[in-house]
Amino acid sequence: MHKALVMEVDACTGCHQCELMCSYGKVGAFNPAKSVMDITLYDGGAVNVPSTCTQCQEAWCMVVCPVEAITVNPSTGAKEVSAEACVGCKVCTIACPFGAINYDPDSGVVTKCDLCGGEPMCVEACPTTALAYVAEDSTGYDKMLRSATLAAGLDAPGA
């Protein structure tokens, strides 16, 4: 069984440690602009919402890529971008309903969460219980949908 990254909005303090470690893992520098884990502030900073790729079962980014640069890692289930294959067309960034794919103008290709090969650095860095990496069937779809909806700036389901 694959594991999944889950986010607990109420436990996030907005310390941004996750963004720093994510960027370090991706580009070797502590630069939140290069992070694919994002903390979005609401209510003047009173609410911090972590968000990243949810590794959709039916991944639209993968479907629309014209050069098949996005593939599934069979050991983690993560949808991974090949920097060698990506041509930087950004079609996947439009297809992703959560805005979870970033175009990097420095490299000319896109980046997204790849679960760090099964050891997510954001989870290691988080000093609270806001981030966890748990069995896929215990993630709580409603909780993830609420976080993703908040991050997208929409009304929370059932609100």
Shortest CA distance to 101 belongs to which of 142, 51, 153?
51
On whether the CB atoms of residues 133 and 3 are closer than 8 A, the answer is yes
Q: Indicate whether 18 belongs to the interface with ligand SF4 (CB under 6 A).
A: yes
Least distance to ligand SF4, CB of residue 20, Å: 8
Q: Can residue 88 be called a binding residue for ligand SF4 (CB under 6 A)?
A: yes
Measured between alpha carbons, how far is residue 59 from residues 79, 80, 101, 120 in Å?
A: 8, 11, 12, 20
Q: Which residue, among 84, 85, 73, 79, has the nearest Cα to 52 in the 3D structure?
A: 79
Stretch that binds ligand SF4, among 28-36, 83-91, 140-148, 150-158 (CB under 6 A): 83-91
Query: Where does this chain touch ligand SF4 (CB under 6 A) — which range of 23-31, 59-67, 137-145, 148-156?
Result: 59-67
Binding footprint of ligand SF4 on the chain (CB under 6 A): 12-18, 39, 48, 50, 64-65, 67, 69-70, 81, 86-92, 109-110, 125-126, 128, 130-131
